[in-house]
Structure 1
């Protein structure tokens, strides 16, 4: 009985291989163990700017107030100053803003400053408090978030240190926080307002607000 079963099994196997050959297919083989390099998934984020179309961003009808339009939360300051330092504002400037992980240069009137904590109340800098405050303020002004992904190192290399560091056109980009850069756009009928910031946990942060006239 066992011998008959073995003969039938061999016959079926031969028939299967023959049919696969006739159809131009290769007979099934055991899968070889993949090498470690074949198992490794790339960690670099693929930049997709095709989905970004600023013309599709809805125009804001909110009253924006005075430039730079957003303020830090209570007990936080810009550069430890009680009021905005005029030296932090330039009529013509440039900054690279992250959009879906891609760095795009934008020119216009700018405000660039460090976000610091007034510690006279005995409390430390709180990243969550600052981020929630800015997000609420920007969304209330009709802002739209255009970056919530990491900036690939290849993108930093493409733009280069001369632009981002030496020329300070990457003021609100921290090389150690490429996965935590927040960028928003507020669009009106006559201008675009780009806001970008990064907040370090329990330390400080930096922000750029750039107004581009249309």
Structure 2
């Protein structure tokens, strides 16, 4: 029912934005004190407590606490006549939001999507969609944060990191125009902190929604050499969970121990040949996951060779997220999909 309510809310606000142009210079909220500025036809809403702040550090405690019932994650739908397309969800991810000329890292549950017009024959109206979301967010007690981003922030974080996070085109394709047209909103309640990023281009828009918090991370034990050997003998395949640095192919200490177990298996059976196959969950872009899984499989191969295993007994391949063995809609399933499979040759 709550999701239906907010779908109707966005729809009604969408129609209001169409029919009442005079409303574009005012922001409506029942529970927050806001300051409204109009520049070049665009409205910016900022909490009065932070509008003139000289502090270089963002203080979430200055954002008013909303008493509204904001519903269930991801809280907002596409406006009436528009749709979400190519959306992704994650139980735990870090995104960077534009705040007071900087990019602030926030970790939590995420929803990310393109926004497109249902009717391809009529143009995407940036002003209407932007106003619809602004009204919906402020009605829930949210506020817009000063989000003009300095170009140097992109270099500091790294464009590759921002691309991996699937950020708005306004950040990834940063230039003087787009950096001034990425809008950041925050909804703060007694038990939730919700971050929203909106940006638009000629034919569509992009939205990131993040509920700050941490997920329950499942523990993964290192599989021992005797178990690997038994699985290979029985099924011709063994699944190993190897810890790498985040979004990299660098082995972490536990990962090195896991590869040592594979080395033991190969040294105990000089006739054994293995295909080392990397797999990921479905977070991020398909092509990036394929590259990452291949790189990680290659790292395992190279580490085995350094331990004295002949490269003629090994090969490496990466399949990205194309062969999941568990549900990618929750963190436990994602953890199972991030694996290395050893297949007998």
Note whether the superposition's TM-score is higher than 0.5.
yes
Q: Is the 8 A contact 1:147 1:181 kept in 2?
A: no
Partner of 1:110: 110
Q: Note the 1:119-134 alignment, pairs <5 A.
A: 119=119, 122-134=121-133
Q: Is the 8 A contact 2:90 2:110 kept in 1?
A: yes
How many angstroms apart in 2 are the aligned matches of 1:126 and 1:106? Answer: 30
Q: Note the 1:140-159 alignment, pairs <5 A.
A: 140-149=139-148, 151-159=149-157
1:53-94 deviations in Å (ceiling 9; x for gaps): 2112111111111211112211100007xxxx6xx2111111
Partner of 2:82: 76
Find out whether 1:164 has 2:165 as its counterpart.
no
Partner of 1:54: 60
How many angstroms apart in 1 are the aligned matches of 2:167 and 2:153? Answer: 12
Q: Is the 8 A contact 1:79 1:116 kept in 2?
A: yes
Structure 2 residue runs of 5 or longer lacking an equivalent are: 1-53, 215-345
Post-superposition offset of 1:187: 0.6
Report which stretch shifted further, 174-183 or 185-194: 174-183
How many angstroms apart in 1 are the aligned matches of 2:162 and 2:211? Answer: 19
Equivalent pairs, count: 158
Higher relative contact order structure (alpha carbons within 8 Å, sequence separation ≥ 6): 1
How many angstroms apart in 2 are the aligned matches of 1:115 and 1:169? Answer: 14
1:113-138 deviations in Å (ceiling 9; x for gaps): 00111116x32111001100000000
Find out whether 1:197 has 2:203 as its counterpart.
no
Whichever structure has more helix as a proportion of its residues is 2
Q: 1:160 to 1:145 in 2, by over 3 A?
A: same
How many angstroms apart in 2 are the aligned matches of 1:140 and 1:55? Answer: 20
Structure 1 residue runs of 5 or longer lacking an equivalent are: 1-47
**Two-structure CA RMSD over aligned residues (Å):** 2.2
How many angstroms apart in 1 are the aligned matches of 2:145 and 2:101? Answer: 9
Partner of 2:99: 99
Partner of 2:208: 208
Q: Is the 8 A contact 1:72 1:133 kept in 2?
A: no
